[in-house]
Structure 1
């Protein structure tokens, strides 16, 4: 499957989500926050974008932009992110955006540990955790073998992705145009039924769908059912006995 989507932040300004929905966009990933220090680091259009997407019926996920330089800071970021998104029930992944130039020279081991620290904290809180990063970071700055248990959102602006590893979403351009958005916008494709996966597993605030209990008849109800069956069989027996008796009289 392929679902066309967008990811947005304050940079897109005020969005007409009804027009976005009508244009064929099937999901949006909305920036919630960055860093970890205080509420000034909540995206200023976060609440407005979530409310607009919900009202228009656009399924959404949420992302946090990282500036962490140690695993400890990544945990702080994760806890801040969880506080900001508390009470929401996104049907698309919650995402750790790891790509800032200030982090590039931290080394593969440290960057991998940072990603694991954030993602594991979010996952343990009951969310579908995903890593967003670009092809250069995947190839040169992260040990992907240590991150194989997490879904990947690949940023590679091209006509088709060249990464051969697994990824559930692909950001293919930063220069998209969508009705209802007055600026250029990142465009994405999702390859999985995230709503079904997340709801079915009871993640992101959703409760797992439970099969209704099978309730059998009570003892009294069983007795009544068996009594009726017995009466039917008795009537059938009497009827067959009479028919058989008539047949025998004709031949004797």
Structure 2
């Protein structure tokens, strides 16, 4: 039997370690972008799943769950899907998920027309298009041969063999894959051409990773600004009370923790702005949290989303482990530092 190399996920699957999945042989993930006629019905986990799968260097496809009961509805669903995936680099076809019981009454001819309208609308935006359905639907409610002649076919059939020719076979809804602790849909990819670039895009010059700049205050004095890892910010043995961070491209927010707890998040860089220009209130800082947001155009150019990578040292002691954004998986704490122990040095970079 061919090997499972793909999973499909939605907001109902959370806390996924995509790197562990990749190490377990998964090379592609198909993510639900949303459902229905409105872009406001975007899947709640789409952005997070997309970003994390991209960072794990997995191939990405998307699907859109249909409730359409007319051809015009199908066009609206396609446009909603396109709005939700706008400016994203998709590696696989955009699949139309047809399985809702409310649609059965429409009959094979109408449902096939609905599928065609969605797929043709998708194709006009230079994406590949496909249809997802189970064996019963392809046999009884859709014109399988007609759809297969024009679009990619993703078949759901939980059996030891697939009874229809397809590009992707969803062979189980109770799969077990490292990186996710519950049952998950697994898929076997028969046609590797689904990985041909889903959207025709001109070659772009590789972008540079932005710079991150930061400075700290200790003993009432702001120290010189530091860029990336060219130096550290701080003086060994002198507790830091305030920190300011900025980036050359994108957005960053950050927080400081003191004995009184987490101070408000800030995103500015102005030592004269007590509200949003820096993190701190003059008390000794014992932990910081930093989060970087990559512009979509930059992520497309780099082929990944960047994170803030940072570490701090307890006053007079060695550095703690590196942290990445506010992540709490893979032995990450979600912040750098140790509550109750002031910090004296900071290192920051984007990667």
- Tell me the residue number matched to 1:13: 14
- Which protein has greater RCO, CA pairs closer than 8 Å, 6+ apart? 1
Report SS of the residue matched to 1:96. strand
Deviation at 1:195, TM superposition (A): 6.1
Determine if contact 1:88/1:205 at 8 Å carries over to the other structure: no
- Tell me the residue number matched to 2:62: 62
Say which one has the larger Rg.
1
Report SS of the residue matched to 1:10. coil
Determine if contact 1:66/1:98 at 8 Å carries over to the other structure: yes
Aligned equivalents of 2:29, 2:55: Cα separation in 1: 13
- Tell me the residue number matched to 1:248: none
Report SS of the residue matched to 2:188. strand
- Tell me the residue number matched to 1:228: none
Report SS of the residue matched to 2:5. strand
1:67-86 maps to which residues of 2 (within 5 A)? Answer: 67-86=67-86
- Which structure shows the higher helix fraction? 1
Deviation at 1:141, TM superposition (A): 0.6
- Tell me the residue number matched to 1:93: 93
- Tell me the residue number matched to 1:204: 199
Aligned equivalents of 1:107, 1:196: Cα separation in 2: 32
Deviation at 1:205, TM superposition (A): 4.7
- Tell me the residue number matched to 2:38: 37
* TM-score (ref. length: structure 1): 0.76
Determine if contact 1:170/1:188 at 8 Å carries over to the other structure: yes
Deviation at 1:207, TM superposition (A): 3.3
- Which structure shows the higher strand fraction? 2
**Number of residues of Structure 1 aligned to a counterpart in Structure 2:** 202
Deviation at 1:42, TM superposition (A): 0.8
Segments of 5+ residues of structure 1 without an aligned counterpart are: 210-252
- Tell me the residue number matched to 2:182: 183
1:169-180 maps to which residues of 2 (within 5 A)? Answer: 169-180=168-179
Deviation at 1:162, TM superposition (A): 1.5
* TM-score (ref. length: structure 2): 0.55
Structure 1 residues 145, 193: closer, same or farther in 2, change over 3 A? Answer: closer
Deviation at 1:181, TM superposition (A): 1.2
Structure 1 residues 87, 173: closer, same or farther in 2, change over 3 A? Answer: same
